[in-house]
Structure 1
Amino acid sequence: MPPGAPVAPPTAAPVGAAVLLAAAPAGRGRVMDAASVLPALAAVPPGVLTGTPTATVVELADPLDPQTVLTRLRAAAAHPGPLLVCLAGQLHLDRRQRLPHLALARTTTATLRYTALPWHWLTGELGARAPGTTTVVADLAADAAVWERLATAPGLLHLGPGPTLYARVTPPPRRGDSASPDYLRAWAESWRSGARLPYATLHAEAAVRTAGAVPAPLFLAPVPAPAPDHDPHPTILAAATAGRHGEAAAVAAAWESEALRRHGPRSPEAVHWTEVRADLARLAGEPARSCELWLTAAEARLSLRQPTDDPDVEGAVDRAHHQWEQIADPARARALGPALVALRRRVPGRQPGALAALTRRLG
Structure 2
Amino acid sequence: MPGTVLLLAASPAGRSCLVDAASVLPILAAVAPDVLSGTDTANVVELADPLEPQAVLTRLRAAATAPGPLTIFLTGQLQLDRRQRLPHLALARTTPATVRYTGFPWHWIREELRLRTPGSTAVVVDLHTDAETWQHLAGRPLTVGPGALLYGRVAPPPPRRAVASPTYMKSVATILRSGHRPPLAHLHQQALTRSSGEDPEAARRDMVLTIDPTQPTPHARPMQSVQPPMHPVPGFQPAPTPTPVPVPVPVPVSLPASVPAPASPMAPSPLPPPSDPHAEITAAVESGRHAEAAELAGRREQEALRAHGPGADEVVHWMEVRADLAMFAGDAELSCRIWLAVADVRLAAGQEPGAPGVEAAVDRAHHQWGRIDDSARARELGPALADLRLRVPGRRQGALDDVQRHLSRLQAQV
Aligned with 2:126 (options 139, 151, 159): 139
Query: CA contact under 8 A between 2:146 and 2:251: conserved in structure 1?
Result: no
Amino acid at match of 2:144: L
**Pairing 1:133-212 to 2, within 5 Å after superposition:** 133-154=120-141, 157-211=142-196, 212=200
**Pairing 1:304-323 to 2, within 5 Å after superposition:** none
Q: State how far apart, in whole Å, the 2-side matches of 1:188 and 1:246 are.
A: 30
Bigger shift: 214-223 or 86-95? Answer: 214-223
Structure 1 residues 102 and 248: CA distance shift in structure 2, 3 A:
farther
Q: Which residue of 1 aligns with 2:70?
A: 83
Provide structure 1 residue ranges, at least 5 long, that are not aligned to the other structure.
Answer: 1-13, 229-235, 237-244, 263-363
**TM-score computed with the length of structure 1 as normaliser:** 0.59
Structure 1 residues 249 and 66: CA distance shift in structure 2, 3 A:
farther
Q: How big is each residue's C-alpha offset from its partner over 1:75-104, in whole Å with a ceiling of 9 and x where there is no partner?
A: 111101000111100100112111100000
How far 1:250 moved relative to its partner?
6.7
Q: State how far apart, in whole Å, the 1-side matches of 2:119 and 2:172 are.
A: 19
**Pairing 1:286-305 to 2, within 5 Å after superposition:** none
Residue 216 of structure 1 pairs with residue 201 of structure 2: no
Structure 1 residues 108 and 227: CA distance shift in structure 2, 3 A:
closer
Q: How big is each residue's C-alpha offset from its partner over 1:296-345, in whole Å with a ceiling of 9 and x where there is no partner?
A: xxxxxxxxxxxxxxxxxxxxxxxxxxxxxxxxxxxxxxxxxxxxxxxxxx
Q: How big is each residue's C-alpha offset from its partner over 1:238-264, in whole Å with a ceiling of 9 and x where there is no partner?
A: xxxxxxx99965721xx2146x559xx
Q: Which residue of 2 aligns with 1:299?
A: none
4+ residue runs over 4 A deviation: 245-250
Aligned with 2:30 (options 43, 62, 73): 43
Query: CA contact under 8 A between 2:31 and 2:179: conserved in structure 1?
Result: no
Query: CA contact under 8 A between 1:18 and 1:55: conserved in structure 2?
Result: yes
What is the SS of the residue equivalent to 2:63? helix
Q: State how far apart, in whole Å, the 2-side matches of 1:249 and 1:97 are.
A: 34
**Pairing 1:237-252 to 2, within 5 Å after superposition:** 251-252=244-245
Q: State how far apart, in whole Å, the 2-side matches of 1:98 and 1:160 are.
A: 20
Residue 125 of structure 1 pairs with residue 112 of structure 2: yes
What is the SS of the residue equivalent to 2:247? helix
Tell me which protein shows more helix as a share of its residues. Answer: 1
Query: CA contact under 8 A between 2:90 and 2:103: conserved in structure 1?
Result: yes
Q: State how far apart, in whole Å, the 1-side matches of 2:105 and 2:183 are.
A: 29
Q: Which residue of 2 aligns with 1:8?
A: none
Taking every aligned residue pair, what percent have the same amino acid on both sides? 54
Query: CA contact under 8 A between 1:21 and 1:59: conserved in structure 2?
Result: yes
How far 1:226 moved relative to its partner?
4.5
Provide structure 2 residue ranges, at least 5 long, that are not aligned to the other structure.
Answer: 220-226, 228-237, 253-414
How far 1:143 moved relative to its partner?
1.4
Structure 1 residues 221 and 43: CA distance shift in structure 2, 3 A:
same
**TM-score computed with the length of structure 2 as normaliser:** 0.52
Q: How big is each residue's C-alpha offset from its partner over 1:205-250, in whole Å with a ceiling of 9 and x where there is no partner?
A: 112222425460011002533489xxxxxxx9xxxxxxxx999657
Amino acid at match of 2:184: Y
Q: How big is each residue's C-alpha offset from its partner over 1:142-161, in whole Å with a ceiling of 9 and x where there is no partner?
A: 1112110122222xx11121
Alignment length, in residue pairs?
A: 229
Q: Which residue of 1 aligns with 2:216?
A: 225
Q: State how far apart, in whole Å, the 2-side matches of 1:250 and 1:203 are.
A: 15
Q: Which residue of 2 aligns with 1:338?
A: none
Structure 1 residues 44 and 250: CA distance shift in structure 2, 3 A:
farther
Bigger shift: 41-50 or 209-218? Answer: 209-218
Structure 1 residues 210 and 250: CA distance shift in structure 2, 3 A:
farther
Query: CA contact under 8 A between 2:35 and 2:176: conserved in structure 1?
Result: yes
Structure 1 residues 46 and 216: CA distance shift in structure 2, 3 A:
same
Q: Which residue of 1 aligns with 2:312?
A: none
Q: Which residue of 2 aligns with 1:256?
A: 247
Q: State how far apart, in whole Å, the 1-side matches of 2:48 and 2:182 are.
A: 27
Cα RMSD for the two superposed structures: 2.4
Amino acid at match of 1:178: V
Structure 1 residues 142 and 79: CA distance shift in structure 2, 3 A:
same
Query: CA contact under 8 A between 1:43 and 1:192: conserved in structure 2?
Result: yes
Q: Which residue of 1 aligns with 2:83?
A: 96
How far 1:195 moved relative to its partner?
2.6
What is the SS of the residue equivalent to 1:176? coil
Structure 1 residues 76 and 168: CA distance shift in structure 2, 3 A:
same
